[in-house]
Chain A
Amino acid sequence: MIDVNKIRADFPILSRKIGDAPLVYLDSAATSQKPRQVLEAINDFYVKHNANIHRGVHTLSAEATRMVDEARGKVAKFINAKTEEVIFVRNATEGLNLIAYTWGRENIKKGDVVVVSLLEHHSNLVPWQVLCEETGAHLRIIEIDETGRLILDGAGTTQLTGRMTVTSGGLASLLGEKVKLVAVTAVSNVLGTITPLDEIKALVKKKAPQAKLVIDGAQLVPHMKVDVAKLGADFMVFSGHKMLAPTGSGVVWGSKEILEGMKPFLYGGDMIGEVKLTGTTFAGIPSKFEAGTPDIAGIIGLAAAVDYLINLGMENVREHEKELIGYALGQMEKLEKEGLVTIYGPRSAAERGGVLTFNVNGVHAHDAAQVLDKYGIAVRSGQHCGAPIVERFKEMAMVRASFYVYTSKEEIDFLIEKIREVPKVFKI
């Protein structure tokens, strides 16, 4: 099991105060805090090794190149991928756009179908929506039930008409021979729902075997053990900054066969084979997708974050968060019984990541978050880049408390205690 106090000592920011109150950081689904081991790795790079990669024969450039190569190897091993299948990007959003701009625009044509779920972060909805608008392909949406779980069976579909017409329903009813791509999140950033990837994969294989499967792993990879060899997907994306690494480090994983057949994403330095004024050939994977100087320090920080997580053990990370969300749900349900709060999303810890989503009844989410901030508690409020989900529950906004390796039960107790103060401020 995880020793939270020992972990907390590694995170310098956790000892700061917000006003007079100790920081209670419950916004790790937005971005995680960084341990000293990661901060030192970044500092060490700039202090001792800073140079551009793949650019020179001098010692520093060789060191920087080796550090990025080693980082790629570490990340690949962490998700059980081949090294060349790991493409460094800025974040999961850029990763999804890379897939949409390259594989998507090459393969999705008028009349084809793209399936996403209602649980998607805007970054796994909007790129596909725009692609469908541009090409005349159809967008289909996997519906969710009242508890925030994806509906997999085929019970009927609904047409939604706005700027374009989309079809929503259970997954089975949306699949067919025209489906080219299914893009789903593994864990909802809004509701914490862990989606049944094995069942989704089996349904897609059965009813749309030609379709590629894209997994948004932004809320998965930081929190659970992932083995892409067993995932059965064609692509997965994730962000380093949600898994203890600095901002600017993200990953696209794609199966080698598919990546090799794809056109580049951005054009420029470091991604070329041979450049002549009359035409250019391109490098192989992964360089083909990594034009320009990458966030070298970010990538080195990501490698240090991966080391940190491996040292904790990803099974232990999930066990810790499962215990926290189970505990938090139990405590929140007491407030719910008193009529103080509304809770959204699955109620069982087995089906939910460390994400507690709620509203204080009669109080706007921003106001609740503002009051909690006075006690040093950092929670997210608003639509969480998932407006359709928030609307599905007929809300304008929601409050989200999200946990990570450094979150303690005491912090959850403190949150629950201070939620009780919120209605008092607004004289409810």
Chain B
Amino acid sequence: MDYKEEIIDHYKHPRNFGDLEEPCIAVRENNASCGDMVEIKGRLTGDGRIHVLRWRGVGCAISTAAASMLSEKVVGMDKSDLEKFGVDGVVGLLGGEINAGRMKCATLAYSAILKLFGN
């Protein structure tokens, strides 16, 4: 795969990167195979939609770009919207071409954001 311009842009200039003051929901997700970590803080609206979201983390260009792109995309979504968007949606955001070895990188932030809604 090629690193598309948009991925490099989000990697070099991640959106919504940072901390969020209390009260908020904080979640973490790790990728044990490469040490990548993402920490997401967010607030939900009364009807369970993502109102604001900030993230921090360390990782590769794919996991960083995915977190950055998702941080813009998911605002306004509720749990079922996000589930419908799914892993395919994340791959689509990244240009539609992610090999099996990078799927964990691509979906790290997605898995974390899902946790915002609890169980």
Contact = CB atoms under 8 A, between A and B. Distances in A.
Interface stretch (B48-56, B59-67, B69-77, B85-93): B59-67
A427 B7 CA distance: 12
B8 A427 contact: yes
Contacts of A390: 35
B62 A397 contact: no
Interface in A367-416: 367, 370-371, 374, 381-383, 387, 390-391, 395-397
B62 to A, nearest CB: 7
Interface residues of A, number: 19
Of listed A367, A397, A426, residue having the most chain B CB within 10 A: A367
Given A366-B102, A370-B1, A370-B102, A426 B34 contact: no
A425 interface: yes
B8 A426 contact: yes
B61 A383 contact: no
Given A366-B62, A366-B102, A370-B1, A383 B33 contact: yes
Contacts of B2: 374
Interface string B1-34: 1110000100110000000000000000000111
Most chain A Cβ neighbours within 10 Å, of B11, B12, B35, B62: B35
Nearest to A390: B35
Nearest to A381: B34
B54 to A, nearest CB: 21
Contacts of A387: 32, 35
Interface of A: 364-367, 370-371, 374, 381-383, 387, 390-391, 395-397, 425-427
21 contacts: A364-B36, A364-B60, A364-B61, A365-B34, A365-B60, A367-B3, A367-B62, A370-B1, A370-B102, A374-B1, A382-B34, A382-B35, A387-B32, A387-B35, A391-B35, A395-B35, A396-B35, A397-B36, A425-B3, A426-B11, A426-B61
Contacts of A396: 34-36, 58-59
Given A367-B61, A383-B34, 17 more contacts: A364-B59, A365-B34, A366-B34, A367-B3, A367-B62, A381-B34, A382-B33, A382-B35, A387-B35, A390-B35, A396-B34, A397-B34, A425-B3, A425-B8, A426-B11, A426-B12, A426-B61
Contacts of B8: 425-427
A374 B99 CA distance: 12
Interface of B: 1-3, 8, 11-12, 32-36, 58-62, 102, 105
Contacts of A397: 34-36, 60
A374 B3 CA distance: 10
B55 to A, nearest CB: 17
A338 B34 CA distance: 26
A381 B62 CA distance: 14
A367 B32 CA distance: 17
Contacts of B11: 426
Task: Name, among A364, A371, A396, A397, the residue most crowded by chain B CB atoms within 10 Å (CB to CB).
Answer: A364
Closest 7 CB pairs of A and B: A396-B35, A364-B60, A366-B60, A382-B34, A397-B34, A367-B61, A367-B60
Q: Among the interface residues A366, A374, A395, which one has the most CB atoms of the partner chain B within 10 A?
A: A366
Nearest to A365: B34
Given A374-B2, A425-B3, A427-B12, A366 B35 contact: no
B84 to A, nearest CB: 28
Contacts of B61: 364, 367, 426
Nearest to B59: A364
Nearest to B64: A364
A364 B105 CA distance: 11
A427 B36 CA distance: 21
B29 to A, nearest CB: 14
A367 B3 CA distance: 9
B70 to A, nearest CB: 18
Contacts of A391: 35
A427 B10 CA distance: 13
Contacts of B33: 382-383
Contacts of A367: 3, 60-62
